[in-house]
Amino acid sequence: GRVQLKVLDNGSGIPEEIKESIFIPFFSTKKTGSGIGLSLSKQIMTLHKGKIQLKSEPGTGTEFTLQF
């Protein structure tokens, strides 16, 4: 079996047009963001044969699922 860890919020969500870009190194929508966090997270999960998945709807929040 696999272990799942879900992290979710009730924020503004991630717009559809940038969902494919959020795991790209150095991609950020913030002036002060480095764009390294999600990219590094995905690389670490992949190295450990895990997965990171995203579910997000504008106005309802975002859910990241990490599968180990």
Domains parsed from the chain with CATH numbers: 4-67 (3.30.565.10)
Nearest by Cα to 52 from 63, 64, 35, 37:
64
pTM (2 d.p.) = 0.87
8 A C-beta contact, residue 15 and residue 9: no
Bridging pattern class, strands 61-67 and 4-8? antiparallel
- What pLDDT is attached to residue 1? 86
Tens-level pLDDT at each residue, the chain (68 residues): 899 999 999 999 999 999 999 999 999 999 999 999 999 999 999 999 999 999 999 999 999 999 99
